[in-house]
């Protein structure tokens, strides 16, 4: 990996680095000043490719990044940061986005835990409504865009109350025939990742994967307890504790809607964000078995992931999933 950018360094003759504000496996995130538009702060998300990869693979990855950055730059929604530019600088690529001030929901969660209080259900549901707005917009694009890394730290609450769903690092663009293209390879964050994102294949990732991660995020916010890793639930279906056992003040409607979204089998989840929103906030009653589908038979999930006649997941990918599950069991 190359050394990080220096404070005061100017990229593309325009973006003056103020400080590094985040770091991930593919690079850093920087706060920068736009010298062309005085007073505008922006966030630069850096992508650095593994130099050990063959040059052809790196070139293909970079071309893919630039194609998909073009798509992201077209997105315009109040609950998403605006991507205003993208460019290359030597071996690194950059996305330029609006800088979002405020605290992320993970920080608010930790503050609540420190104060030995729970976040208010009404507040969390109001945030959920705004997150749903962002996801509905993304999923309605042609082709649909799937975030794939929804979690409390990727949701920011601005000082005036507006929610922003941030970090496009794992965004998926669903191409025709359900072939998925990845901007930056990754599997999401384990606590919020549905089972179909494991196993080394993206063949099953679709909008229902975001619904699972959305539900798992709400589970954490409403209970102040981390959701159980989907791999552990596959092996121990009873390990996920219902929300109201952890926070008795929650409504039954909220508990049922969140557990419905967290069903292990994608077919047992809400099919759209709006369906989930209606179960959570509106007039739609979840199916009668919604309270129990989060304990779905692991065999049905395995059949969904591994059946060669009905899915496009290769057996080698299914084997990788099995190894991942066994590693979880061994811990």
The domain in which residue 279 lies consists of 103-330
For position 52, what pLDDT does the model report? 77
Q: Establish if 83 belongs to a structural domain.
A: yes
Whether residue 2 lies inside any domain: the answer is no
CATH of the domain at 265: 1.10.510.10
**4 domain residue, yes or no:** no
- Domain co-membership, 235 together with 287: yes
> pTM of the full predicted structure?
0.82
Active site residue 93: no
Q: What is the reported pLDDT for 212?
A: 96
In a domain, 5, yes or no: no
Residue 3 counted as domain residue: no
Q: Pick the catalytic residue from 33, 104, 149, 210.
A: 149
- Domain limit, last residue, from 98, 127, 156: 98
What is the predicted pLDDT for the residue at 197?
82
Whether residue 113 lies inside any domain: the answer is yes
The token pair at 110 is: 């930790």
pLDDT tens digit at each of 331 positions of the chain = 678 999 999 999 999 999 999 886 677 899 999 999 999 999 999 988 877 778 888 888 888 788 778 888 889 999 999 999 999 888 889 999 999 999 999 999 999 999 999 999 999 999 999 999 999 999 999 888 888 889 999 999 999 999 999 876 545 555 444 333 333 334 456 889 898 887 555 556 789 999 999 999 999 999 999 999 998 998 888 899 999 999 999 999 999 999 999 999 999 999 999 999 999 998 888 776 665 555 555 555 555 555 543 444 444 455 455 555 555 555 5
Whether 280 maps to a domain, the answer reads: yes
Total domains, the chain: 2
Residue where a domain terminates, one of 52, 67, 98: 98
| Domain final position from 63, 98, 133 | 98
């Amino acid at each position: 990996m190359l050394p990080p950018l220096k404070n005061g360094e100017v990229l593309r003759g325009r973006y003056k680095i103020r400080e590094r504000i985040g770091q991930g496996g593919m690079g850093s995130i920087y706060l920068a000043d736009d010298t062309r538009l005085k007073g505008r702060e922006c966030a630069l998300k850096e992508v650095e490719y593994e130099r050990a990869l063959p040059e052809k693979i790196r070139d293909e990855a970079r071309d893919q990044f630039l194609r998909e950055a073009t798509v992201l730059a077209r997105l315009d929604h109040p609950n998403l940061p605006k991507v205003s530019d993208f460019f290359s600088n030597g071996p690194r690529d950059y996305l330029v986005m609006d800088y979002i001030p405020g605290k992320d929901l993970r920080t608010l969660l930790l503050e609540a835990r420190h104060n030995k209080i729970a976040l208010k259900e009404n507040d969390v549901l109001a945030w959920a409504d705004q997150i749903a707005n962002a996801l509905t917009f993304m999923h309605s694009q042609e082709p649909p865009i799937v975030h794939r890394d929804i979690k409390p730290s990727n949701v920011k609450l601005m000082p005036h109350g507006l929610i922003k769903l941030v970090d496009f690092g794992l965004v998926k663009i669903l191409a025709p025939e359900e072939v998925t293209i990845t901007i930056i390879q990754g599997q999401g964050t384990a606590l919020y990742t549905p089972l179909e994102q494991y196993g080394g294949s993206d063949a099953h990732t679709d909008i229902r994967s975001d619904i699972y991660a959305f539900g798992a995020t709400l589970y954490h916010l409403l209970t102040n307890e981390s959701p159980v890793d989907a791999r552990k639930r596959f092996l121990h279906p009873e390990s996920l504790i219902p929300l109201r056992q952890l926070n008795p003040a929650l409504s039954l409607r909220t508990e049922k809607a969140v557990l419905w979204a967290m069903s292990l089998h994608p077919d047992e989840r809400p099919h759209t964000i709006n369906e989930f929103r209606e179960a959570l906030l509106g007039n739609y009653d979840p199916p009668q078995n919604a309270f129990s589908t989060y304990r779905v038979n692991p065999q049905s999930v395995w059949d969904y992931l591994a059946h060669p006649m009905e899915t496009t997941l290769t057996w080698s990918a299914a084997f990788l999933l099995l190894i991942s599950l066994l590693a979880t069991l061994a811990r």
